[in-house]
Amino acid sequence: MSGSGAEERDRTPISRRYEGKATKPGKFWIYEQVMRISYYGIYQITNGHLEVYQLVNGYDQQMPANAGCHYFIETLRVELGVWQGSYQNQVLLWLRWWDAEGNLLLTGAEVLK
């Protein structure tokens, strides 16, 4: 995401006005209440901040990071986290996946090296 992340954190529910027009719901509300996404991550590119939410009893709850500063996605048996390194000739903070034992999962290009 770009910017402050306010759009990704917007929990505004859809509502109807007297004229019959609907107000635009927030992204967070859509993912939580309409799409019912099991996991929802918000990553701020500008500072490398990652927060991950898990749907529990119909509501998204922010997950705590584990000791490796990753978020375990139980249904996939992988962890999501931020990795600093070179990818496509750019040294930045990137979102990456690790296996359940904490081993970095390689991209296709890394496997071919």
- Tens of pLDDT, residue by residue over 27-52, are 999 999 999 999 999 999 888 999 99
pLDDT of residue 86: 87
Tokens 């490398």 — which residue?
Answer: 48
Q: Indicate the average pLDDT of the chain.
A: 91
**What is the reported pLDDT for 101?**
93
Q: How confident is the model at residue 2 (pLDDT cuts 50, 70, 90)?
A: low
3-state helix, strand, coil in the chain (%, to 5): 10, 40, 50
Beta-sheet strand order (sheet of 71-73): 71-73, 78-87, 90-99
9-31: average pLDDT: 85
How confident is the model over 69-94, as pLDDT tens digits?
A: 999 999 999 999 999 998 888 899 99
Q: Is the pLDDT of residue 60 over 90?
A: yes
Rounded Cα distance, 47 and 4, in Å = 10
How many beta carbons lie within 10 A of that of residue 71, not counting itself?
A: 22
**What does the alpha-carbon distance between residue 46 and residue 28 come to, in Å, rounded to a whole number?**
20
From 26, 23, 20, 24, select the one nearest 5 (Cα to Cα). Answer: 26
8 Å CB contact between 52 and 63: yes
